[in-house]
Chain A
């Protein structure tokens, strides 16, 4: 289904080290529009770093990232690689939504304030329009009643749903999820996964780093399994869970089931 869709984002041959520690060793991925790609792997496998390289919160030492057909230009400056054009990076980031493990809502703004901040100040859209859209989004994720509250007064699950609404408000081409449920109490995980599933069914392009095997298996249409900085397995959930998977992947899944 998704093979014919245009490429929303792509990362080619990404290498990244911190000092002597090699975190990513030549990783590539390609997301077509409508793809929901889950990235699995043990801690330290490099999955979060890969995600953060896509919107340049980390800059890869080698390799190229392309978003919506536009490659992000990098240059060498004092021995370090950095974005060549700050404005291009900002523009591209505005096209990508990101949902963090720690929610990262702005604590001095209300929930509504958080959601309209990007549209009003980065996209420069009229405030009235942004508020109307924000309220619809908050309704959609199920926390419209909390819109005038401050993040500190919300539960973890509510905060994360607000963060998702904030990402959606920018009308992104693709949404990046960095372990969105890892910091939540178990009983709050479900409400966030439900929202994410609804987004997937809408046809949103999503790149999800997660430990939720159920989501990976039933909601995503492609999986990436990372091990020690490399892609150790890639394919559809049917393929990887059906028995064609490499040993490392099966051990990883088995480890999870034993908990």
Chain B
């Protein structure tokens, strides 16, 4: 009953679309991280107006579905002649770019809260000790705050990254030819719905399991002090 030939052919076609999925992922996560960093800074910085803006941004992008955000950018913006005639149109007319922008804005909101949580998890005592040694500003951030915040935020951020891999599938609904999009195209030609979708699901599963493993390795490497100490040689 299992048509190996068909499955193999399907897999080949789907795998060819994986680079697109990865590109969507990598670009949106990077841009999103920058946005998140700025938002987290706005929230903990102390400036009430910036804090309010950041809170509003996070509320909007976490409170509404990604799909509607994506449609808003892809269909909604192109509706206005002003947008179509602006230089931004060079970027916005490509579905891929719209998808990346939408994904980045969305993850920016979620990651902002995760980064903020990480920052707040840095023990006050560690910062005090650093200040007492004369550290401040950028040096303090770079050597003490950032590493400890990153360690604290990593588990939650790992979950977010997995969600981002899954979210790239929505790009298929704005005509981007990533894995899910290609799967749909194969189905319209062959009508073999279940087999194709299950192949696509398998690909995402593999991608996510690999991602989680990588992140667990990263977590392990970042916490040398939390690992069990190696037994000392007998004196």
| A–B proximity contact (CB within 8 A) | no
